[in-house]
Structure 1
């Protein structure tokens, strides 16, 4: 089983960049308007992107993300910068003491190209690029629909929008579709199948890269898990930090894809895991599932985005992930 160190992105902004952006935009970070920045603001984000890529390279990560420094509204970002979306009031982001602006969809979700532009810039900095994209179910769940008028039609429209965005990406090694809402607000009967079809539609637009549907903040309901396995993704993510027993139960009882992503580092807690702890959690998972389950790849990752952490703790957690897979590689060489 190949072990690949990576993250789901959503990195914290360095303090000096926060201060510079606050001065340039005139208000606090969670109120900043993204999408049409002037050259000075773009320059700050370019500098941050270079720093975030360098941190990942220094940590020895096998996959490098763009960092999502511009995602002031976190997973809602692709909608909050869209021309046919009005950014509404501040709402709580899942169960955290963080907030985002409610994206209110008021017109057709046409192609934007915002995600691809950031990835194009990151592609000049690394050959091991991993894209980070909100999953269609989560993005629809975080938004308000004032245009399509039907939940199923809206989910399909969000999936089509994301598929068009993904199709414009430069060459990447991996695409992480982040789907926490499948856990925190699980779809009901009928909707669970549509959610899987939406993930499948986005994955189908990915050209020559592995697709990971990464879920977190708990474990999937059994039926939701079964439907997600029907989607044509290469791996499903399991949050071993929040609920390791229920996630192992799903895999042991119902199987999974040929590869998995394992949330083995806490993206919200400042306690830094050691490389040995990371490896032990992976080994525990491997021992807990049936011997007949043979994984091609395990993506070792934080369970959530790392936006919530102080910058120094964020960097230390990246280093732990990188060191964990480096130790595995060293063992293979000496075996």
Structure 2
């Protein structure tokens, strides 16, 4: 029997009121932002937004609650773009998704930052007995989105990113789950010179926490060789995008090479405004687990395939409710 756990990969859309408020505040405090000081008004606005998205997740009934990452203007690159030894270059487009972000250029050692840990501490104070889920970019995706001007080669840079993220995780408050988001493994697979090093970098991050670690991949299916290497990572679960790309390839990888004891099922569209009803999501869960012939799972995380940033706030919250309800229909399903 497989326990269903409802969650998301985080990175939520800003609440509607916050879009205009923060735009006005950042315009007035442009110099402070360049110098790294967000200012009290901006900090307060993000705090209010964080409380709102945390409360919405609790109200929806999600089993794992994320911080929401409302400050992550540069999405997965955020842990680098706020680092003192990283300069933000020009505007670039990630993953051909028509969203544009700044290019983080690493110019010095990736020393401890504590930025994400501080966000999670604030979130933990709001939660009470609810289960916190931390979210970070995986080391390969973060290295793929950055420009190395310091470490000298791809292997050294990947190792440095893994060590940096591990140090950040060590400062996190107690959390039940850690989602490492690795869309670059699908969108721009690693070259042969570093593909075998990717699971080592991921394992270094996972080893820094006692929480259950999920490596969530999306924007399509993993190439067979990439998947085989990823299976060497010391994590509790791999996550798969069953909305975009070739589902047959994903199921082939799982059935051919096996997978971890737990699995994350990206079954709700994180980019389409059409809201799936809980019954549809539940049917997708059962359909997918029925086609995994190689094993059964202790836990299946039911989630959107991608971050929810791309949706209007109201649609994102409706999808939260659908995911939560689908996992609550029954406590367990046969797999």
Contact 1:22–1:28 (Cα < 8 Å) also in 2: no
The offset of 1:14, in angstroms, is 1.3
Deviation larger for 119-128 or 185-194: 185-194
Q: For the Cα contact (< 8 Å) 2:199–2:234, is it kept in 1?
A: no
1:150 and 1:281, CA in 2 relative to 1: closer, same or farther beyond 3 A? same
Runs of 4+ in 1 over 2 A off after TM superposition: 32-36, 329-332
CA deviation after TM superposition for structure 1 residue 34, in Å: 9.6
Aligned-pair distance for 1:189?
1.9
CA distance, structure 1, for counterparts of residue 251 and residue 135 of structure 2? 25
Matched ranges for 1:20-39 at <5 A: 20-26=21-27, 36-39=37-40
Q: Secondary structure at the match of 1:90?
A: strand
Q: TM (normalized to structure 2)?
A: 0.95
For the aligned residues, what is the CA RMSD? 1.8
Distance 1:331 1:196 in 2: 30
- 1:162-200 Cα shifts (integer Å, max 9, x gaps): 000001000000000000000000012241111111111
Matched residue, 2:296:
294
Distance 1:193 1:260 in 2: 22
Give the drift of 1:27: 7.9
Correspondences of 1:1-335 after superposition (within 5 Å): 1-26=2-27, 36-126=37-127, 127-206=130-209, 208-243=210-245, 244-290=247-293, 292-329=294-331
Q: Any idea what the Cα deviations from partners look like across 1:126-150, whole Å, max 9, x if unmatched?
A: 1310000000000000000111111
| Cα separation, partners in 2 of 1:198 and 1:277, compared to 1, 3 Å | same
- Cα contact 1:34–1:70 (8 A) shared by 2: no
CA contact under 8 A between 2:195 and 2:229: conserved in structure 1? yes
Q: Give me the TM-score of the superposition, normalised by structure 1.
A: 0.95
Mind listing any 5+ residue stretches in structure 1 that lack a counterpart? Answer: none
Instruction: Count residues with an aligned counterpart.
Output: 328
> Following TM superposition, by how much is the alpha carbon of 1:331 offset from its aligned partner in structure 2, in angstroms?
8.8
- Structure 2 unaligned runs (5+)? none
